Amino acid sequence: MSEKKKKLLEVKHLKQYFNVGKSDLVKAVDDVSFDIYEGETFGLVGESGSGKTTAGRSIIHLYDPTDGEIIFDGQDINKLKTRQEEHAFRREMQMIFQDPYASLNPRMKIKDIVAEGIDIHHLAKDDAERSKMVEDLLEIVGLNKDHSSRYPHEFSGGQRQRIGIARALAVQPKFIIADEPISALDVSIQAQVVNLLKDLQEKQGLTYLFIAHDLSMVKYISDRIGVMHYGKLLEVGTSDDVYTKPLHDYTASLISAVPIPDPEFERNRKQIVYDSAQEIDDENKPRKMHEITPGHFVRCSEDEVAKYKKRAASYEE
Amino acid sequence: MAERILDVKNLEINFHTYAGDVKAIRDVSFHLDKGETLAIVGESGSGKSVTTKSLMGLLANNAEVVGGSVMYHGQDILKKSEKEMQNIRGKDIAMIFQDPMTSLDPTMKIGQQIAEPLMKHKKMEKKKAWAQALDILKLVGIVDPEKRINEYPHQFSGGMRQRIVIAIALVCYPEILIADEPTTALDVTIQAQILDLMKELQSKIETSIIFITHDLGVVAGMANRVAVMYAGKIVEYGTVDEIFYNPQHPYTWGLLNSMPTLSSTLLEAIPGTPPDLLDPPKGDAFAARSTYAMKIDVEQEPPFFKVSDTHYAATWLLHPDAPKVTPPTEIIRRQKLFAEMSVNKSVKA
């Protein structure tokens, strides 16, 4: 990914805490910074509880961050003053959800689900234009126009996810957050949906934040990847770098745990056990992101930089 | 020759629904050898869970076994009464379910949940049963078991709960363990731990495992043999190497092709969706989604063709008169590996 590309989203020192001021304080996202360039797919991986979904939700302004900035297209989204500004922002950024069963209102027809954004933003002049837009959208995602007067229960999981994608596309956004969009789908359908997302990206120049726990799928779809653990971003790099030359022990352990459809490989698989104690920061060892090789960052303290540089060099031998 | 402990023959199961009879299992036969792991792979709705539920006598009320038999120690399980099944279930055949969050009783201490099958099946006293529960908790890797045996499910994480579910299933040393997507709800690192644990326990207590999953990566690591199900039928079965390196059925090709490996650059999705089993298609059920379908595929159902002594596939492509087709690139890559492996084997022999 060339550095000259325009930054579409900048997340700076984002902190999202819950139960602030109480004894059960949760630091769901703790000092996370990354950039997403226009036209790329940024994959955010991590296990459950790592804060990846919370990060996505903070970015689309479903939460007010505890601290930090989220700058989208040059504008800090937490400083949007008027309703109009918030409205305009919502048009630019859309979300696709994990559960295709829960994310569609069962009492609404497909055309009304897809057109909800069109209505809110007054994108259609009249009913005829509205229906035309819906039909076009359904076609783009591989459904046909006869589907528009049906209800969600008449569709399979994969088709529902397509409807969710059509709904997100309806307001012509620049940026889409896909939060585990395929994990509820069957294997043979997952590939369909992922290929559709890739295809749309090419045709419409979309930028994605792809949140998932399935590492092999994230590797396949993403240009760059960020690895989260316990609310912290541990490593960022191109997907090839992160997978083939992992720097952080946690990343290495995560990759070693991914089952591969190859019996010979599985028989020889050695899982790397990870000790999360090394993540604990003490007062005199503050950790932050350090660029170890160009474009490949790892979260570490100053005195650990040498260790990671050595590790990065060992991959080049 | 390994001892056969379970033999499923021509199983057919229908579900009565308002829309008509859904033919969920259509003539399924397979067997399980002692000590082996048989993986059943397929998409949702392919019938893999229904098949195993019928082995446990846990079918829903609207299900009807139309035909077939499940022979276990010379007796047909399908003909047993609920009362007789209660003596088999949990003792001889145990099951691990997908969701560790819902398969434990939230109001019972985990010690009691593990001791319950011992007290019921082995008529053990409470004290002895709890002592054995403690042993098995250690075996499944729960830290500080003396304290945790008195805790409730909500005090455990997902991975720990699944370990407890496994402990309950294994406490009576069952002959057969059915694991229905046991790691689907878990994170990859936890999944790897649970799978290793299952392999380790299997060798310790010599149980045979039927492993149901849609994740071919997990299958590659767990199974000795694999059966691929599609639309209520087994379409191909063989040893794990035969299925992964020498697959014959276009559906198996499609599955292997649509899963990303860490090096794949292009995913070929299987187009379309599985057929409606209210009215199953006449010929090969996969024909409508297959680019390799021939005329005969929509007219007549393919029988099983023998590939090797252990490997069979139900596709007309294996018929002697069938035209030669070129499988997808990924499959050719795998078949090359298979050829190399068999050369290596014969050299060794």
Cα separation, A109 vs A150, in Å, equals 5
In B, minimum Cα distance to A260 occurs at B217
Averaged pLDDT, groups of 10, chain B, 349 residues long: 88 93 94 95 88 90 93 92 92 88 90 94 94 92 91 90 91 93 84 90 91 92 96 96 96 90 75 86 91 91 95 94 90 91 75
| Confidence band of A270 (pLDDT split at 50, 70, 90) | confident
B28 - beta bridge partners? B11
Q: Can you give the pLDDT at residue A216?
A: 84
**Percent helix, strand and coil across chain B, each to the nearest 5:** 40, 20, 40
Q: How far apart are the first and last CA of chain A?
A: 24
Would you say residue A276 has pLDDT above 80? no
Q: Can you give the pLDDT at residue A233?
A: 94
Triad A105, A110, A114: Cα angle to 5°:
90
Specify the residue for token string 């199983």. Answer: B11
Q: Can you give the pLDDT at residue A37?
A: 95
Q: Among A35-49, A126-140, A153-167, A184-198, which is the least confidently predicted range?
A: A184-198
Would you say residue A281 has pLDDT above 60? yes
Q: How far apart are the first and last CA of chain B?
A: 19
- Indicate the DSSP class of residue B269: P
What is Dmax (Cα atoms) for chain A?
Answer: 65
Of B188, B217, B258, nearest to A254 by CB-CB distance is: B188
Cα separation, B94 vs A120, in Å, equals 54
Average pLDDT value for residue range A298-302: 90
Cα separation, B69 vs B104, in Å, equals 31
Q: Does A239 touch chain B (CB under 8 A)?
A: no
Q: Can you give the pLDDT at residue A282?
A: 65
Q: Among A68-82, A273-287, B112-126, which is the least confidently predicted range?
A: A273-287
Work out the number of other CB atoms within 10 angstroms of the CB of residue B333.
Answer: 11
In B, minimum Cα distance to A47 occurs at B187
Contacts of B301 (CB under 8 A, 6+ apart): B282, B283, B284, B314
CB contact under 8 A, B241 and A255: no
Of B189, B193, B220, nearest to A261 by CB-CB distance is: B220
CB contact under 8 A, A188 and B216: no
Cα separation, B160 vs A172, in Å, equals 44
Q: Can you give the pLDDT at residue B186?
A: 80
Q: Can you give the pLDDT at residue A99?
A: 85
pLDDT digit string (tens) for A138-191? Answer: 999 988 888 899 999 988 888 999 999 999 999 999 999 999 998 878 877 888
Q: Where are the domains of chain A?
A: 7-316
Would you say residue A277 has pLDDT above 80? no
Cα separation, A88 vs A173, in Å, equals 10
Q: Can you give the pLDDT at residue A185?
A: 81
Q: Can you give the pLDDT at residue B179?
A: 94
Contacts of B321 (CB under 8 A, 6+ apart): none
Specify the residue for token string 């001021």. Answer: A21
For chain A, give the percent of residues with pLDDT over 70: 97
Cα separation, B259 vs A217, in Å, equals 8
**Neighboring chain B residues of A260 at a CB cutoff of 8 Å:** 217, 220, 261-262
SS3 B6: strand
CA-CA-CA-CA torsion sign (A273, A276, A279, A283): negative
Of A158, A259, A274, nearest to B221 by CB-CB distance is: A259
Cα separation, B201 vs B130, in Å, equals 20
**ipTM (interface pTM):** 0.82
Counting Cα atoms < 13 Å in the Cβ hemisphere of A53 gives 11
CB contact under 8 A, B158 and A266: no
For chain A, give the percent of residues with pLDDT over 90: 62
Cα separation, A216 vs B27, in Å, equals 35
Give the amino acid at B115. A
Q: Can you give the pLDDT at residue B240?
A: 96
Would you say residue A228 has pLDDT above 60? yes
Comparing C-alpha atoms, which of B301, B82, B239, B73 is closest to residue A263? B239
Triad A33, A37, A43: Cα angle to 5°:
65
Least Cα separation, residue B116 to chain A (angstroms) = 32
Triad A159, A160, A166: Cα angle to 5°:
90
Residues 9-38 of A with CB under 8 A from B: none
CB contact under 8 A, A187 and B188: no
Least Cα separation, residue A257 to chain B (angstroms) = 5
CB contact under 8 A, B216 and A187: yes
Cα separation, A68 vs A27, in Å, equals 13
Work out the mean pLDDT of chain A and round it to a whole number: 90
The domains found in chain B, sorted by start residue, are 4-223 (3.40.50.300), 244-348 (no CATH)
Cα separation, A65 vs A259, in Å, equals 36
CB contact under 8 A, A259 and B256: no
In B, minimum Cα distance to A274 occurs at B189
Of A187, A255, A256, nearest to B255 by CB-CB distance is: A187
Q: Can you give the pLDDT at residue A197?
A: 93
CB contact under 8 A, A263 and B220: yes
Of A191, A213, A266, nearest to B220 by CB-CB distance is: A266
CB contact under 8 A, B244 and A253: no
Query: Is the domain A7-316 a CATH 3.40.50.300 member?
Result: yes
| Interstrand relation of B312-313 and B305-306 (parallel, antiparallel or unpaired) | antiparallel
Q: Can you give the pLDDT at residue A1?
A: 47
Classify burial at B347, counting beta carbons within 10 Å of its beta carbon; exposed 0-12, middle 13-18, buried 19 or more.
exposed
Across A35-44, A212-221, B192-201, the highest mean pLDDT is recorded for: A35-44
Of A188, A255, A265, nearest to B258 by CB-CB distance is: A188
Q: Can you give the pLDDT at residue B233?
A: 95
